Amino acid sequence: MSQETSVVELDSPTIQTSVDDENSSEKQMSKRQKKKMLKMQQWEIKKKEKRLKEKEKLKQRKLEAIAAGLPTRNGPSRKELKRNKIDYSKSDISVVVDLSFDNMMIDKDVAKCVKQLLRIYTMNRRSERPIPLHFTGIREGGSVEMHLKRNDGYQHWDVKFSNDSFANLFDRDKLVYLSSESDNVLTALEKDHVYVIGGLVDHNQHKGHCYELASRLGIKHARLPLSEHIVIKTRTILTINQVFEILMKIQLGKQWQETLLEVLPMRKGAKPKESNECSEQQSLVDEMQHNGQQSQLVK
């Protein structure tokens, strides 16, 4: 009887159909897709193992600190950080990260973009004055959303997520899109204004895209005052989290030069611009303006 039963189960049309479906789906996948899927599965396993190891290390360090009579932590606890909520009604400025560019990035760069978002969120919640954060333009089913979902509980971050464009969510007169191509220099953060950072990791392949977008939408744009305060010989392409950190420090009352030197990595070789260099630059600007006025008088 048992043999007959097993034969009937194997010949069952439902089971045979499901097996055929699995085989056909595997055949439809290219070698590259199979390799990518396998790599993703291995990465997820390694991620879980890494988290377990980190938890064990933290536990061991805590036990060692208790045994030595030392404090068990240097900074605020997670519970304390969770209570550090943003008061949107009392904040001077807001920051938006425009995430509408996932179709312009390869998957590797989208992963980098989301990693930078995580750094922004962590940095902001540890700040003594957290800034209202908005992540906008997240396409449903898009690669940004897919990578965000890999961070367990990201929906509970103290961040306002939106699928809509930032241009539809805020008063356009208060928006300032940050772009290195802009001719306008950001000298101070204006109260009640919303500063937009382009969430585009493209290694300068789409140079000027954010500037063009702001111009097309009729939104104010500005660049950070890098050349006005520091001397740097390498490319001055900043990451999303570096731009946010600069805004955060300026909001806390730090000076531009001090902030830029703190945030820019050492490998960039940034040096403070001497006061005489600044004055020479200003004199050149004044001279150009003066010559312009004279030419107008001649006309």
Buried b (16+ CB within 10 A) or exposed e, 92-116: ebbbbbbbbbbeebeeebbbbbbeb
Q: Are 276 and 117 in contact (CB under 8 A)?
A: no
Residue 137 CA to residue 134 CA, distance in Å, equals 10
Q: Confirm whether 11 is a catalytic residue.
A: no
For 188, which DSSP code?
S
What letter represents residue 275's amino acid?
S
Catalytic residue among 20, 107, 192, 202, which?
202
Are 211 and 88 in contact by the 8 Å Cβ rule? The answer is no
Residues 268 and 296: beta-carbon distance below 8 Å: no
Q: Determine the Cα–Cα distance for residues 299 and 292; give it in Å rounded to an integer.
A: 11
* 270 within 8 A of 230, measured Cβ to Cβ: yes
The residues that bridge with 175 in the sheet, in sequence order, are: 194
Kindly tell me the burial class for residue 217, based on how many C-beta atoms sit within 10 Å of its own C-beta (0-12, 13-18, 19 or more). Answer: middle
Cα 269 from Cα 259, distance rounded (Å)? 15
Q: How many CA atoms lie within 13 A of 119 on its CB side?
A: 14
| Sheet of strand 175-178: strand arrangement | 160-161, 133-136, 94-98, 194-198, 175-178, 220-222
Active site residues: 202
